[in-house]
A and B are shown apart, each in its own frame.
Chain A
Amino acid sequence: MAAVAIVILVGVGITGQYLLVGNLNQPFSQVGILGPNGQFANYPTSMTIGTNYTLELYVANHEGHSMLYQVYEKLGSKSSMINQTDPLTSSPVVSYGFALPDNGAAIRRINVSLPSPGLNVRIVWELWNFVPTSNSWRYEGSWAQLFVNATV
């Protein structure tokens, strides 16, 4: 009867995991910026204004269902305020849209260009998602950023 007991135990385990898996995982979304070669390296440290620099934008959905995202590219300075609850107050320069299934991810090649010179210019990519119940876009609390010197 040992085999029967093992079967019951394994069956209970598999069924339990199947039923509880939605509650065990903490849902989350990710945004990241990759260098021109698709790696976490070779980021530009200075940019000539008006010149396009190629980077790669990464977004991943682990929320348990499909998500509709907008990534807002914004410009700020070293003193600009951004955290998990408050996005940058500046207006988006560019928007990138993503609709991702659960456990889906996307990498998109983007061109970044700065309009004016400055030291420690902060380029921020904020992740926003659409909330159908409130019919509005909500800041997800995730962002990626890059500090560069913008030169003429």
Chain B
Amino acid sequence: MVPPAQAETQDGAMSRIQAAYSAVLGAEHSGANVTTLDMNLTVALNLVNRGADVESKQPAIAQQYYLQADAIATQVASEAATLAGSGPSLAVRGEVNLVIELSALAVAALALYFLFPRLYWRVWTWINKDAKVSAP
């Protein structure tokens, strides 16, 4: 990974954000939750935009914005790489959950099919235990 620069330009900071975004896409593709990374990228992107707004009049402040954006983007790229590593297990976990849910549905339906008649008649008999049958 390229370390953040000590002096940064708008293009440099933007390039790092774009690279971080590509890393986020990779992590997302692996099944990771990237919501927080997206939020941080939004912050970085707006720091670059704010820097571009003030660069002509306050280049030193713009430089600070670019450096902050650069640091955030670098952090996002690093976290995205970590998440991408754990991503496949997350994706598999989602598949396993689906299989468990479908199996539970099947078991519930079979239990209902085999046990409900017995249960129904037991309850019916208990409710009507004092009933008397009379000829019409």
Contacts and interface: CB of A to CB of B under 8 A. Distances in A.
**A-B interaction:** yes
Interface of A: 2-4, 6-7, 10-11, 14-15, 18, 65-66, 68, 70, 94-102, 104, 106, 130, 132, 135
A99 B42 contact: yes
B42 A6 contact: no
Contacts of B71: none
Given A94-B53, A95-B52, A66 B110 contact: no
Interface residues of B, number: 31
B105 A97 contact: no
B38 A104 contact: yes
B98 A97 contact: no
Secondary structure at chain B's binding surface: helix, strand, loop or mixed? helix
A2 B110 CA distance: 10
**Residue of A2, A68, A98, A130 with most partner-chain B CB within 10 A:** A68
Contacts of A101: 28, 34-35, 38
6 contacts: A3-B109, A99-B21, A100-B42, A101-B38, A106-B42, A132-B22
Contact of B105 (A10, A70, A98, A102): A10
Interface of B: 17-18, 21-22, 24-25, 28-29, 34-35, 37-42, 44-46, 48-49, 52-53, 98, 102, 105-106, 109-110, 112-113
A4 B109 contact: yes
Contact of A15 (B22, B29, B102): B102
A7 B106 contact: yes
Contact of A66 (B24, B48, B102): B24
Nearest to B47: A97
Given A3-B112, A100-B38, A14 B46 contact: no
Contacts of A66: 21, 24-25, 28, 34, 38
Contacts of A3: 109-110, 112-113
A68 B109 contact: no
Nearest to A136: B18
Contact of B18 (A6, A96, A106, A132): A132
A14 B39 CA distance: 32
B102 A97 contact: no
Given A104-B35, A130-B21, A98 B42 contact: yes
Contacts of A100: 38, 42
